[in-house]
Amino acid sequence: MTNPPDVIRSAYAELVVTDLAAARWFYVDVLGLIVTAEEPGALYLRACEEYLHHSLVLRKGDAPALAALAYRVRGPREVDAAERYYAEHDVPVRRVPAGTTRGIGEAVRIQDPLGFPVEFFYHAEHTERFTQHYHLHRANALARLDHFNVVVPDVRTARNYYTALGFGVSETIEDEDHLYAAWLYRKQTVHDIALTGGDGPRLHHIAFATQERSQILHTCDVLGALRREHHIERGPGRHGVSNAFYLYLRDPDGHRIEIYTSDYYTGDPDNPTIRWDVRDNRRRSFWGHQVVPSWYAEASTVLDLDGRPVPITAPAKRESVASIGADGFGVVPGENGAEGVKLGHQV
């Protein structure tokens, strides 16, 4: 068995959007991402603390889709390691020359065993880090890309694929016989990738981190002031899983973007996995708020390496059903023993 490539973190995503001007309004004018490069048909964006060329590529196309999720590996030799590893996996593997994606060096692209278009790269153009260019920051400034979240029909299989690739499991949502969701990391945060059970493969969201909560709240205020409040889908709130403060937005094409802050350190080798009961109402909103149905149901189409939509498969069990209504079952720890008591359906 060939060793897996040494992945360091989730690094950039490439989204296909149907209207670049509308996407520019959302990502640059509202969210304040920095434009590293712009060309006819594409925008290359980064957040304030990032020095690589981009963490988001927006490419004009006929239908909204995910074109690539890219992981950075520890060095150039790890790009070769990725090529060797996936050659044994019976999935499409392609070596792509430097510059195939503007700003990115030689890379390997695969359609991973879960169906996603994934890139591994090391070399990338450096740009100026705007961390202390406070005069250029917006009050809702995004600091860096934090994670990807993908929808897969079989979370257990997907979890096993990612742990074999060397990812640690920080948190899960499960019951006695089913795994509904899992959060996995390479960098020392709660996750680089989350697996959400559902019709997949599809992209659930990509998340950017801010330094603090007030920046997330400001995005809500900006959207309200602009009469563009319909871009807010879920939150703001506190996640149970990850403990992060969050907000979910939908971009003009329906791609979901999360703004996220204040999760915790996971870098010790014995970092314990936190396992949430699917019936615990605090798992997805620590304050017990219901999750809007669109958040469970809707996600972005993913493309194969030739740009064709990947067909989707339904899961055996759905979290939105297991938890009744959107989230109608509650578990109150400490009442009736450690497992708590089921409260029944709450509206």
From candidates 14, 283, 319, 327, binder to ligand 4SX by CB under 6 A: 283
- Min dist. Cβ of residue 161 to ligand 4SX (A): 19
Contact partner, 239, from Fe ion, ligand 4SX, none, Cβ < 5-8 Å per class: ligand 4SX
Q: Which does 241 bind (CB under 5 to 8 A by kind): Fe ion, ligand 4SX, none?
A: ligand 4SX
Given the complex with ligand 4SX, which of 78 and 280 has the nearer CB atom?
280
Angle at 24 between CA 151 and CA 254, to 5 degrees: 30
At 271, list the tokens.
Answer: 């970092």
Instruction: Kindly report the length of the chain.
Output: 347
Nearer to ligand 4SX, 28 or 292 (CB): 292
Tokens of 330: 């509650």
Q: Which stretch binds Fe ion (CB under 5 A): 13-21, 47-55, 67-75, 202-210?
A: 202-210
List helix spans (H) across 52-105. 76-87
**Dihedral of the alpha carbons of 312, 318, 324, 325, in degrees to the nearest 10:** -10
Q: How far is the CB of 240 from ligand 4SX (least distance, A)?
A: 5
Site for ligand 4SX in 168-207 (CB under 6 A): 194, 207
CA distance 145 to 166: 20
Separation between Cα atoms, residue 39 and residue 34, nearest integer Å: 15
Grouping H, G, I as helix, E, B as strand and the rest as coil, residue 150 is strand
The secondary element (H helix, E strand) that includes residue 297 is helix 293-297
Selected range binding Fe ion among 49-57, 177-185, 252-260, 265-273, rule: CB under 5 A: 252-260
Tell me which DSSP letter residue 229 carries.
G
Interface mask (CB under 5 A) for Fe ion, residues 38-77, using x and -?
----------------------------------------
H/E segment holding residue 15: strand 7-17
Tell me which of Fe ion, ligand 4SX, none is bound by residue 242, counting a contact when its beta carbon lies within the kind-specific cut-off of 5 to 8 angstroms.
ligand 4SX
Q: Which does 284 bind (CB under 5 to 8 A by kind): Fe ion, ligand 4SX, none?
A: ligand 4SX
Partner whose binding site includes residue 253, from ligand 4SX, Fe ion, none (CB under 5 to 8 Å by kind): none
HSE-up of residue 277 (Cα within 13 Å, Cβ side): 14
Give which of 235, 232, 343 is closest to 291, Cα–Cα. 235
Tell me the longest C-alpha to C-alpha distance in the chain.
63
Of the candidate residues 111, 149, 210, 266, the single one contacting ligand 4SX (CB under 6 A): 149
Among the residue ranges 133-141, 216-224, 254-262, 276-284, the one whose residues contact Fe ion (CB under 5 A) = 254-262
Residue 207 binds Fe ion, judged by CB under 5 A = yes
Least Cβ distance, residue 246 to ligand 4SX (angstroms): 6
CA angle 228, 233, 235 (to 5 degrees): 110
Residue 108: both structure tokens together: 């390997």
**Under rule CB under 6 A, residue 284 binds ligand 4SX:** yes
Q: Interface with Fe ion by CB under 5 A: which residues?
A: 149, 207, 258
